[in-house]
Amino acid sequence: MGTPVIEIRGLHKAYGSLEVLKGVDLTAPRGHVVSLIGSSGSGKSTLLRCCNLLEDSQQGEIRFEGEAVRWKGEGLNRHPADRAQVTRIRTNLSMVFQQFNLWSHMTILQNVMEAPVTVLKRDPGEVEAKAREYLAKVGIADKADAWPAMLSGGQQQRAAIARALCMEPRALLFDEPTSALDPELEQEVIRVIKALAEEGRTMILVTHDMKLAADCSDHVIFLHQGLIEEEGPPERVFGAPQTARLRGFLSATA
Ligand SMILES: Nc1ncnc2c1ncn2[C@@H]1O[C@H](COP(=O)(O)OP(=O)(O)OP(=O)(O)O)[C@@H](O)[C@H]1O
């Protein structure tokens, strides 16, 4: 299986006195899709944001491709010690947000090219060729010169996925990528995510869509109040849930 892209052990995270993660493990092996499910407030988005160090955590270890994040300080004062390491990790774990977060003053092509050119300092000509490839892959090659406001929500989210892909990251992190979309637009984004899963991309997916989690995950983690209540392959988590809490959650979301 090789070294996992992301490995987390015993992660604790609090916002002030509110403990949101209470000792969580997560392993994302290369080429696998890990989905995080659970009720609102269970800590799914927080765990995802801890993976790429968008959030600090107070205890526990995070490894990116085997390399442990180095920390300074303790408890609520614990922060990553090495900015260069944070940048390296963050640029290798591209995030797709619920609200797309496209730059409204840039065309779709400029949005997709921005970070590879300015952050990674890649050659603009090469980046443009890649950006057009990724826009074609998500089915919106014809929108390269459009402004974000001219696109539907589903098209904007596909542009955001093209932007994440153009960083050529080691893994993609999705934070409820379909939650802001109408049901018919949701499907076009789901198709893209499934195609990426079939290509063998490493992904971590926070989702309320149990069908999406069931269809494209290798591993599903059910979080409850900051702890892993149950985890396993999707066939077992969805087909034969072991705990009453997971059974209750699944019947409430069905
Ligand atoms: N920046 C913040 N400051 C304070 N509390 C926060 C912050 N972000 C999240 N929380 C709290 O942490 C808890 C977990 O939030 P989180 O967004 O991780 O849950 P979630 O499982 O992703 O929920 P949802 O499905 O509603 O997005 C919640 O109680 C939330 O109110």
**pLDDT tens sequence for the chain (254 residues):** 689 999 999 999 999 999 999 999 999 999 999 999 999 999 999 999 999 999 999 999 999 999 999 999 998 899 999 999 999 999 999 999 999 999 999 999 999 999 999 999 999 999 999 999 999 999 999 999 999 999 999 999 999 999 999 999 999 999 999 998 988 888 899 999 999 999 999 999 999 999 999 988 999 999 999 999 999 999 999 999 999 999 999 999 87
Ligand 1 centroid distance, CA of 234 (Å): 24
Q: What is the DSSP string of 123-169?
A: -HHHHHHHHHHHHHHTT-GGGTTS-GGGS-HHHHHHHHHHHHHHT--
Ligand 1 centroid distance, CA of 18 (Å): 10
For the Cβ of 46 lying below 6 angstroms from any atom of ligand 1, the answer is: yes
Atom number, ligand 1, closest to the C-alpha of residue 16: 4
Nearest CA to ligand 1 atom 2: 15
Q: Are 92 and 64 in contact (CB under 8 A)?
A: yes
Domain 6-253 class, CATH top level: alpha beta
Residue among 18, 35, 37, 46 to mutate when testing ligand 1 (max atoms within 8 A of CB):
46
For 41-71, the pLDDT digits (tens) are 999 999 999 999 999 999 999 999 999 999 9
The reported pLDDT for the residue numbered 254 is 78
Tell me what ipTM this predicted complex has: 0.96
Q: Are 50 and 8 in contact (CB under 8 A)?
A: yes
The reported pLDDT for the residue numbered 1 is 65
Ligand 1 centroid distance, CA of 45 (Å): 7
Atom number, ligand 1, closest to the C-alpha of residue 176: 27
Strand order through the sheet with 93-96: 93-96, 171-175, 203-206, 33-38, 219-224, 227-232
The reported pLDDT for the residue numbered 244 is 97
Nearest CA to ligand 1 atom 9: 46
Atom number, ligand 1, closest to the C-alpha of residue 48: 18
Atom number, ligand 1, closest to the C-alpha of residue 43: 18
Reference 189, options 174, 199, 203, 201; nearest CA is 174
How many other CB atoms are found less than 10 A from the CB of residue 46?
22
The reported pLDDT for the residue numbered 78 is 94
For the Cβ of 38 lying below 6 angstroms from any atom of ligand 1, the answer is: yes
Residue among 24, 42, 227 to mutate when testing ligand 1 (max atoms within 8 A of CB):
42
**Percent of the chain surpassing pLDDT 70:** 100
For the Cβ of 207 lying below 6 angstroms from any atom of ligand 1, the answer is: no
The reported pLDDT for the residue numbered 230 is 98
